[in-house]
Structures are given as C-alpha cells and as structure tokens.
C-alpha cells in the first residue's frame, strides 16, 4: 500500500478521535482507548508482508508494553491537580519511561524476550 495512503488514513483516524473527544468526551476517550494504532499497524504490516507470524509477535509485544504505558494515565490526572499541563505531561511521560525500563528489567530477570 502506498505510503501516502497509509499516512492519510492514519491521520484521518487520529483527527476523528480528536474531534470526537472535543464534542463527546466519553466517546473520544473510548475511541482513543481502542488499540487503533496497533490495529492500523497490523493491517499495514500484513498488507506489506502477509506474514501472520510477524503479526503474532507484534501483538504479544504490544500487550507487554501496554502495561507500563498505563502509568501515564494514572500519573497525569494526579499531576494535573498540582502542576500545569506541560509539566504534568512531561512528568507523567517520565513515569512511563521508568515503567518501560522496569518492564525491560523484568524481561531480563525472567529471561523473556518479546522479540526486542
């Protein structure tokens, strides 16, 4: 599939989620919570390679990396009560990076390799 079409479809999806959030907060949050990026990525990977083993590996990798990413959604509301938007966004992103590093440490500890 041509890159321009991939970019266009991906941008349209992000814009749709953004607009839905502005108008109907709950619906936007629900759409954003769906694994849209992962689904789009899987479609692009499959359409480019036809390799279902790659999709299976990718899916397992995403599963394990979603867990530490949830730290952002827990930290951000707490930090917003105390700091402005941008400092809170930076700090909650830092929390997420730390949780990713901890997850990688756990992988090493239990000798699990999610294909990284």
Mean of the per-residue pLDDT values for the chain?
87
1 band by pLDDT with thresholds 50, 70 and 90: low
Residue 110 domain boundaries: 52-116
Q: Which residue has the higher pLDDT, 49 or 61?
A: 49
In tens, the pLDDT along 60-79 reads: 888 888 999 999 999 999 99
| Distance between CA atoms of residues 2 and 6, nearest Å | 7
Q: State yes or no: pLDDT of 87 exceeds 90.
A: yes
In a domain, 105, yes or no: yes
In a domain, 23, yes or no: no
In a domain, 80, yes or no: yes
In a domain, 14, yes or no: no
User: What separation in angstroms does the CA of 39 have from each of 14, 23, 58, 73?
Assistant: 13, 24, 11, 21
In a domain, 2, yes or no: no
In a domain, 68, yes or no: yes
101 band by pLDDT with thresholds 50, 70 and 90: very high
Number of domains in the chain: 1
Specify the pTM.
0.70
The torsion defined by the Cα of 102, 104, 107 and 113, in degrees rounded to 10, comes to 170
| Distance between CA atoms of residues 10 and 43, nearest Å | 11
In a domain, 85, yes or no: yes
Q: Which residues, 6 or more positions from 32, have their beta carbon under 8 angstroms from its beta carbon?
A: 17, 21
In a domain, 5, yes or no: no
Q: State yes or no: pLDDT of 97 exceeds 80.
A: yes
């Amino acid at each position: 599939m041509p890159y321009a079409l991939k970019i266009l479809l991906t941008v349209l999806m992000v814009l749709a989620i953004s607009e839905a959030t502005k108008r109907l907060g709950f619906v936007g949050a629900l759409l954003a919570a769906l694994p849209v990026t992962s689904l789009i990525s899987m479609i692009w990977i499959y359409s480019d390679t036809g390799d279902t083993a790659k999709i299976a590996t990718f899916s397992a990798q995403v599963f394990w990396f979603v867990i530490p990413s949830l730290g952002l959604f827990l930290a951000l509301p707490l930090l917003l009560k105390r700091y402005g938007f941008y400092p809170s966004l930076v700090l909650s992103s830092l929390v997420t990076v730390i949780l990713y590093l901890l997850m990688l440490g756990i992988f090493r500890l239990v000798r699990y390799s999610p294909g990284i």
